[in-house]
A and B are shown apart, each in its own frame.
Chain A
Amino acid sequence: MPRILFFALGLIGLVALPHALSFSQQEILVFLVINVLLVASYRLLTLTGEWSLGHVVIMGVGAYASALFSKNLGIYVPFAMLLGGMTSALLAVLLSFPLFRMKGFYFLIGSFAAGEIIRLLWKRFRDPFGGAKGIKGIEPMPDFSIGVYEFDFFEPISYYYMSGAVVVFCLWILWRIERSPVGLTFHAVHWQDKLAEASGVNLRAYRTLAFSIASGFAGLSGALLAHYVGTINPNSFDVEVMVFVLTWAIVGGTATFYGPILGCVVLTILNEIVLRELGFEQMRPLIYGAIMILSILFMPKGLESIVQRLTRRTPVAAPREKVAE
Chain B
Amino acid sequence: MLDLLAQTSLNAVYAASYISLIAVGLVLIFGVMGVINFAHGELFMLGAYAVVALYADMQLPFLMAVAAGLLFVGLLGLVMERTLFRPLKDNPLGGLVASIGLLMILQALAVLGFGVRMEHVPPVTQEVIAFSDKVRLPLARLYVIVAAVLLLTGLWYFLKRTRFGWALRASAQDPEAAALQGISITQTARIAMFIGAALAGVAGALTAPLVSVNPHMGHSVIVTAFIVIIVGGVGSLEGAVIASVVYAFVHTFVTTLYDGVIADIVGLSLMLLVLIVRPTGLFGSADRA
Contacts and interface: CB of A to CB of B under 8 A. Distances in A.
Interface of A: 51, 98, 101-102, 105-106, 108-110, 112-114, 116-117, 120-121, 123-124, 239, 243, 246-247, 250, 282-286, 288-293, 296-297, 300
Contacts of A106: 275, 279, 289
Interface residues of B, number: 39
Contacts of B87: 297
A116 to B, nearest CB: 5
Contacts of A283: 108, 112
Question: Lowest 4 A-B CB distances belong to which pairs?
Answer: A289-B104, A292-B101, A286-B108, A289-B105
B75 interface: no
B165 interface: no
Contacts of A293: 84, 97-98, 101-102, 105
12 contacts: A98-B275, A105-B234, A109-B275, A110-B272, A112-B226, A124-B261, A286-B105, A289-B103, A289-B105, A293-B105, A296-B94, A297-B98
A296 B107 CA distance: 20
Given A117-B268, A297-B87, A300-B94, A286 B226 contact: no
B223 A116 contact: yes
A49 B223 CA distance: 24
B268 A113 contact: yes
Given A112-B226, A239-B219, 16 more contacts: A108-B96, A109-B226, A109-B230, A109-B275, A110-B275, A117-B268, A120-B268, A243-B100, A286-B108, A289-B105, A292-B97, A292-B104, A293-B84, A293-B97, A293-B105, A296-B97
B234 to A, nearest CB: 8
Interface of B: 36, 84, 87-88, 91, 93-94, 96-98, 100-105, 107-109, 111-112, 219, 223, 226-227, 230, 234, 261-262, 264-265, 268-269, 271-272, 275-276, 279, 289
A117 B111 contact: no
